Structure 1
Amino acid sequence: MSRRVVCLRHGQTLWNVEKRFQGHTDIALDETGIAQAARAASLLAALRPTMLVSSDLRRAYDTASALGRLTGLDVAVDKDLRERGGGEWEGLTRDEIRAGWPVEYEAWEAPGGEDVAYVADRVAGAIGRWASRLDENGLLVVASHGAALRLGICRLLGLPQELWSALGGLGNCSWSVLEEGRRGWRLLEHNAGTLPEPISSDDSPAATADS
Structure 2
Amino acid sequence: MSRRIVCLRHGQTLWNVEQRFQGHSDIPLDETGMAQAERAASLLAALRPTMIVSSDLQRANDTAQALGRLVGLDVAIDKDFRERGGGEWEGLTREEIAARWPEEYAAWEAPGGEPVTEVATRVANAMRRWAARLDDDGLLVVASHGAALRLGICELLGLPEQLWPAIGGLGNCSWSVLQEGRRGWRLLEHNAGTLPEPVRSDDKPEAEV
Tell me the TM-score normalized by structure 1.
0.98
In the alignment, which residue of structure 2 is the partner of 1:172? Answer: 172
Kept in 1: contact 2:171–2:195 (CA 8 A): no
Amino acid at match of 2:164: W
> Structure 1 residue 198: deviation in Å?
2.1
Structure 2 residue aligned with 1:49: 49
Please give the root-mean-square deviation of Cα atoms over the aligned residues, in Å: 0.8
Q: 1:156-184 CA deviation, whole Å, 9 max, x = no partner?
A: 00000011011000000000000000000
CA distance in 1, matches of 2:70, 2:46: 10
Deviations 1:26-56 (A, max 9, x none): 0000000000000000000011000000000
Shift of 1:206: 1.9
| Gap regions ≥5 residues in structure 1 | none
Q: Quote the Cα distance in structure 2 between the aligned partners of 1:114 and 1:92.
A: 16
- Check the 8 A contact 2:34/2:63 in 1, yes or no: yes
Deviates more, 1:73-82 or 1:190-199: 190-199
TM-score by length of 2: 0.99
Matches within 5 A, 1:9-20: 9-20=9-20
Equivalent residue for 1:62?
A: 62
- Number of residues of Structure 1 aligned to a counterpart in Structure 2: 209
Aligned counterpart, 2:133: 133
Moved over 6 A (4+): none
Q: Which SS does the other structure have where 2:99 is aligned?
A: helix
Q: Distance in 1 between matches of 2:168 and 2:206?
A: 8
Q: How far apart in 2 are the matches of 1:197 and 1:60?
A: 18
Identity over aligned pairs, percent:
81
1:123-202 map, 5 Å: 123-195=123-195, 197-202=197-202
Once the 2 structures are TM-superposed, how far is the Cα of residue 195 of structure 1 from its aligned partner?
Answer: 4.9
